[in-house]
C-alpha cells in the first residue's frame, strides 16, 4: 500500500507513522509528505526520514493543486495528520474511502478546530481521539477507530491535547495498518474490521 501523508504542523503523528514504517508495522510505504505550511515541522521530519517533502503552494485553484500533486505520487491511501486545510469535494471524490484523518476528540463530539479546548469548556470527563474516513463534511466521515483519554483536574488545552496526542501516536499507525492490509470494510457509515493477524 502506497501512501501520501499530508500535514501542516509539528508532525508528531507523521513521526509515529514514519517510525511504524521503519519498524515494518505500517503495512505500506510513505511515498511522500505534503504540507501547506513552509515552516511545518512535518516537512523537516519527512526530510530527516529521507522522504520527499513537498510544499503545496496554492496559486489559485487549491483543489487542482492538491489533485495534481497527488496524481504524481499515485497513492492508494492519503493520510491526513494534522492537515489544517479542508479538501474540496473534487479531491474527496477522486479518493473516495481512501483518505483517513485523525481528530483529537471522540467524534461526533467537538468536530472542527480547537477540540481539546472545547472539550474542557464543556466540562467533559472523558475525551479522546478518532480515526475516520474523510467525506465532504468537517470530521463527519465513517469512524474507523477511537480511543478514550481522561480529562484531569487542572488540565489546560495544551496539557489535554498532549495527553490525547500520546494516544494518537499509537492509534493512527494501527488504523493505517488495518486499511493498508485490506482488513477494513465500509458498510454505509459503519466500518467493519476483519479478523486477521495483528
Least distance in Å: CB of 87 to ligand GRF? 13
Binding site members: 11-13, 57, 84-87, 101
Task: Check if the beta carbon of residue 6 is closer than 8 Å to that of residue 83.
Answer: yes
Contact between 74 and 67 (Cβ < 8 Å): no
Catalytic residue among 103, 122, 132, 169: 103
Which of 89, 86, 117, 123 has the alpha carbon at shortest distance from 101? 86
Residue 171 CB, nearest distance to ligand GRF (Å)?
10
Task: Establish whether 103 is a catalytic residue.
Answer: yes
Beta bridge partners, 33, equal: 5, 53
Question: Which has the closest alpha carbon to 75: 4, 156, 150?
Answer: 4
Q: Which residue is nearest to ligand GRF (CB)?
A: 82
Q: Which residues pair with 132 in a beta bridge?
A: 101, 143
Residues in touch with ligand GRF (CB under 6 A): 7, 9-14, 81-82, 102-104, 129, 165, 168
- DSSP β-ladder status, 184-187 and 190-193: antiparallel
Report helix, strand and coil shares of the chain as percent, to nearest 5. Answer: 35, 25, 40
- The catalytic residues are 103
Amino acid at each position: 500500500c502506497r501512501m501520501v501523508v499530508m500535514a501542516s504542523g509539528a508532525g508528531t503523528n507523521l513521526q509515529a507513522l514514519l517510525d511504524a514504517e521503519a519498524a515494518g508495522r505500517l503495512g505500506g510505504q510513505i511515498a511522500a509528505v505534503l504540507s501547506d505550511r513552509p515552516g511545518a515541522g512535518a516537512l523537516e521530519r519527512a526530510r530527516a526520514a529521507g522522504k520527499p517533502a513537498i510544499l503545496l503552494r496554492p496559486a489559485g485553484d487549491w483543489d487542482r493543486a492538491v489533485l495534481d500533486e497527488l496524481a504524481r505520487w499515485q497513492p492508494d491511501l492519503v493520510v491526513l495528520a494534522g492537515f489544517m486545510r479542508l479538501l474540496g469535494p473534487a479531491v474527496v471524490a477522486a479518493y473516495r474511502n481512501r483518505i483517513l484523518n485523525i481528530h483529537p476528540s471522540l467524534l461526533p463530539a467537538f468536530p472542527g478546530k480547537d477540540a481539546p479546548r472545547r472539550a474542557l469548556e464543556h466540562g467533559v470527563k472523558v475525551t479522546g481521539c478518532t480515526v475516520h474516513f474523510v467525506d465532504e463534511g468537517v470530521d463527519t466521515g465513517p469512524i474507523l477507530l477511537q480511543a478514550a483519554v481522561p480529562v484531569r483536574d487542572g488540565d489546560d488545552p495544551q496539557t489535554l491535547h498532549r495527553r490525547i496526542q500520546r494516544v494518537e501516536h499509537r492509534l493512527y499507525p494501527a488504523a493505517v495498518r488495518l486499511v493498508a492490509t485490506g482488513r477494513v470494510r465500509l458498510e454505509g457509515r459503519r466500518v467493519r474490521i476483519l479478523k486477521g493477524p495483528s
